[in-house]
Structure 1
């Protein structure tokens, strides 16, 4: 059996991309389902399809699934098609040796015959008890305009969740919650200030939070709007 390729694949996972940090809540249907899927992994093949537009938290759920699986001693990989698509579908070779495979943004390969065929073949190789596959896309399988009907069919086999995009209130709440997990106090006012002055992309906002965390520790200062303005040159 071929060994999984390692080029351009994530080596570490963000420490705070956990189920408990998910903006939808640890008790949400999607989190509960993913936890249960990992518990039932040795009984049947587990497949979950997550879809949603924009900042819906899909990628967060993939990170959290891998972290939770690793805590159970399962081997995992998170494959971002956005990052590896140019390497070609050979990046899927050998991944069936792992227990849990998470694939982000499968919609990016819709209409690409070689990628669609490779995903279909991987699905068939991976489809056995002891394996868990979670994929994300922006739309439901029948809306992806896939050229391979059999792949569309496979994507409907498991449990599908449509996840709504985060509102500004959700993002502000998520920033405050994530800051608290780091031992950092971020007021609602400061969170909303960041949303009005910066990109609303959640990943970019979390990168800014990381920068503010380090700056706050170095300066021994609380996060205030003036401090944020100075630190970020706003």
Structure 2
């Protein structure tokens, strides 16, 4: 066989590159599977899948192993980028000499036409009109709408982050749907980052990178969901870095979503992290009780079902944070009502949800007041008294907020508990709601308090 350049590696490497001869040998997979496991443990998954997975193993006379590469490109890349790793491989498997060869006739093979992996199209149900806004998400919604109305001008990129099931994907689709409706002919591309990674791997393997780059760098709007998935994937980050630059320099709009803010994405290259904050970073927090109730009413109404306030509150209070969980509970209720022809009252809804709900803990308003008073070093009588010093008024507002959030009591009911007019209760709860948005420490404290009672 005609030898290619040897790896710049230690003596007795036992790995060479050569052009394939005509002999055929039986496949010896046991050795290759062990070696593949060795390589997987030392390479990012995408790197292994792109460059080593396509190699075809064949045993050679004398116990050696030949790995046939699809093209010269693969052989050159492995030699140039993984010479030291192959030296380690040779030392780990000293009795199995390995060589990587270029499959005969591979250079003349014509690649198939580039066909991107199937992506989910824009969901027509996910619009700004169907997105229920509240204090927890109104900033992100307003930013997304501004981008949709002025793509490439308002905020570029727009980076939306928040926990799973809070509406990030909904807003991403809403941006796309709005632009397509307002600007026919605009090239909008929505893709989940996992699909982007898979397309990249396949394009590298099949030598279709020019077509891949053309696909992603010729759009007017790129909507990339769950961008945190690129973390730790060196080649993906490299490719996305250049794609980002090409689009941004051309004034094309980029919208990204993530579970965490850019600063908290572990394994993300700094050059990408800095670019993610060039435009605007907007967060989506778990919905408060009012927003959860509004979502339930709207979705039930869209299905032709009107629920009473006690039913809406019952469902809303059972959902901790996730809107997707809320929708799941509501869907179960609607199906139960349809199949049993039962009235949509509290008894029926309770029967529908009891099998899947966690055991309910009985919490009283008095228990919440005692808890808050103890936390702030006060007496219950202080919170229910007339002392309006901030050291007392603020904990009182916190207690009112928690009672509303955890138990769903009405404003008059809370006012009666504290001896206050309901307008005072409304003001107190609004004050805490606004403070929570701008004060991460308070937000974390209130989240901990609420979890204590659930």
Question: Structure 2 length normalisation: TM-score?
Answer: 0.43
Q: Which residue is equivalent to 1:84?
A: 195
Contact map agreement 1:51 1:136 (CA 8 A) in 2:
yes
* Partner Cα distance (1:51, 1:143) in 2: 11
* Partner Cα distance (1:226, 1:14) in 2: 35
Q: Give the SS at the match of 1:19.
A: coil
Task: Report the Cα offset of residue 49 of structure 1.
Answer: 0.8
Contact map agreement 1:55 1:166 (CA 8 A) in 2:
no
**Which residue, 159, 166, 182 being the options, matches 1:49?**
159
Task: Report the Cα offset of residue 13 of structure 1.
Answer: 0.6
**Residue 127 of structure 2 is aligned to residue 18 of structure 1:** yes
**Which residue, 236, 244, 267 being the options, matches 1:123?**
244
Contact map agreement 1:179 1:185 (CA 8 A) in 2:
yes
The verdict on how the C-alpha distance between 1:98 and 1:183 changes in structure 2, with shifts beyond 3 A counting, is farther
Q: Give the SS at the match of 1:50.
A: strand
Q: Give the SS at the match of 2:190.
A: strand
**Which residue, 107, 116, 123 being the options, matches 1:5?**
116
Contact map agreement 1:3 1:97 (CA 8 A) in 2:
no
Contact map agreement 1:54 1:165 (CA 8 A) in 2:
no
Contact map agreement 1:45 1:131 (CA 8 A) in 2:
no
Contact map agreement 2:333 2:352 (CA 8 A) in 1:
yes
Show structure 1 runs of 5+ residues with no match: none
Task: Report the Cα offset of residue 88 of structure 1.
Answer: 5.3
Q: Give the SS at the match of 1:103.
A: strand
Q: Give the SS at the match of 2:306.
A: coil
Contact map agreement 2:228 2:259 (CA 8 A) in 1:
yes
Task: Report the Cα offset of residue 6 of structure 1.
Answer: 3.6
The verdict on how the C-alpha distance between 1:112 and 1:129 changes in structure 2, with shifts beyond 3 A counting, is closer
Q: Which residue is equivalent to 1:63?
A: 173
Q: Which residue is equivalent to 1:186?
A: 307
**Which residue, 238, 241, 266 being the options, matches 1:145?**
266
Q: Which residue is equivalent to 1:109?
A: 230
The verdict on how the C-alpha distance between 1:102 and 1:86 changes in structure 2, with shifts beyond 3 A counting, is closer
Task: Report the Cα offset of residue 158 of structure 1.
Answer: 0.9
**Residue 256 of structure 2 is aligned to residue 135 of structure 1:** yes
* Partner Cα distance (1:100, 1:131) in 2: 6
Task: Report the Cα offset of residue 151 of structure 1.
Answer: 0.9
**Which residue, 270, 273, 282 being the options, matches 1:161?**
282
* Partner Cα distance (2:263, 2:247) in 1: 22
Number of aligned residues = 230
Q: What does 1:198-217 align with in structure 2 at a 5 Å threshold? A: 201-210=322-331, 212-213=333-334, 216=337
Task: Report the Cα offset of residue 181 of structure 1.
Answer: 4.0
Task: Report the Cα offset of residue 28 of structure 1.
Answer: 3.4
* Partner Cα distance (1:76, 1:221) in 2: 45
Q: Which residue is equivalent to 2:33?
A: none
Contact map agreement 1:44 1:130 (CA 8 A) in 2:
no
1:1-57: CA deviations, max 9, x gaps? x977242x2135151x32233333599343333222233236588320112234543
* Partner Cα distance (1:199, 1:161) in 2: 22
1:173-221: CA deviations, max 9, x gaps? 3222232344432334323433556785322432443455466567766
* Partner Cα distance (2:292, 2:178) in 1: 23
1:46-102: CA deviations, max 9, x gaps? 320112234543222112212212222234333223x53772545874133333222
The verdict on how the C-alpha distance between 1:33 and 1:89 changes in structure 2, with shifts beyond 3 A counting, is same
The verdict on how the C-alpha distance between 1:51 and 1:14 changes in structure 2, with shifts beyond 3 A counting, is same
Q: Which residue is equivalent to 1:33?
A: 143
Higher relative contact order (CA 8 A, sep 6+): 1
Q: Give the SS at the match of 1:102.
A: strand
The verdict on how the C-alpha distance between 1:19 and 1:90 changes in structure 2, with shifts beyond 3 A counting, is farther
